[in-house]
Amino acid sequence: MRLPKLSRGAKALRNGLIALALGLLLFAQWQFPPFTARGMCREVGRELLMTTPKPVFTRIQNSTWAADRQDAFVVARSGDSWVSFQYERTPMGLWQRNIGHMPLQVSQAPHVSVYGGTIYLIGLPEEPAAVDCAFTLTDTVIWRDEDGSRSEPEFGPSRDFTFSGYSVADGVWAFDYHDPALASWAEPDEGKQAGDLAMSWYRLLNRQDPNGYGTLHVQIPLTFTLSFADGQTSQLTLAVENYQLGYV
């Protein structure tokens, strides 16, 4: 049975519908918000003009700052490059990249990301048997005058922290340094967790109003000690902002 021939107008309508369908398909592929970690990686890959990275580790949790939101932390790899980034799920259920709380990081060398009370060491070329992370937090105050000038830093007590890590994926280690469920703001400083001190110990005070202050942004060196199965050890030092450690 032969199908009836289409008129010129019907052919034009058919071709228009096909073109519209192809356009919607391309729009969905390139513009629609991602729904999975792979979709997030495709979006990040386009932004970085690189081959789409493949996710190697994903962590999703409820936001500690908004009850109706979720956050997603993703570590991905494209060739020799490692990428880490964060997305947030809006109340409408769509994922969008969170550019305010965690910067998009891409590097061929090991780097550090902080998410939800955990430090992540990303991009280790060799897989160690164990890794420890150590850092020091120091009570630091800088005074600001009316003219905007700032004093030299004044230092108070310091506390040393060491955390043992665990592997969450090939080349990725995690160090849990802060439990958001354990509220310690009311405790004396010696009882506070590292995440609390990373915020409360770095202060910018106004001489005219010492009760109103801001948080200093200071680079905190993290020393990672890598222990290998053959008994060899090595150290790696990277830095992270105290503000990132405190954003838990």
What is the reported pLDDT for 10?
Answer: 63
Reply yes or no on whether the pLDDT at 30 is more than 50. Answer: no
Nearest CA among 39, 227, 55 for reference residue 133: 227
Greater model confidence, 230 or 103: 230
Nearest CA among 186, 224, 201, 58 for reference residue 142: 201
- Per-residue pLDDT, averaged over 86-111, amounts to 79
What is the reported pLDDT for 248?
Answer: 65
Q: Show the tokens assigned to 120.
A: 């992540």
What is the reported pLDDT for 49?
Answer: 87
- Per-residue pLDDT, averaged over 113-137, amounts to 94
Burial (CB count within 10 angstroms: exposed 0-12, middle 13-18, buried 19+), residue 225: middle
Q: Residue 171 — left, alpha, or beta (φ > 0 → left; ψ -120 to 50 → alpha)?
A: left
Structure confidence by residue, pLDDT tens digits, 37-86: 888 889 888 888 889 899 999 998 877 666 667 888 999 999 999 999 98
What is the reported pLDDT for 214?
Answer: 83
What is the reported pLDDT for 31?
Answer: 46
- Per-residue pLDDT, averaged over 100-106, amounts to 76
What is the reported pLDDT for 6?
Answer: 59
Reply yes or no on whether the pLDDT at 134 is more than 90. Answer: yes
Cα separation of the two ends of the chain:
69
Sign of the alpha-carbon dihedral angle for 135, 85, 203, 238: positive
Tokens 């199965």 belong to which residue?
A: 229
Nearest CA among 138, 166, 142 for reference residue 152: 142
List all residues 6 or more positions away from 69 whose beta carbon is below 8 Å from its beta carbon: 62, 63, 88, 89, 90, 91
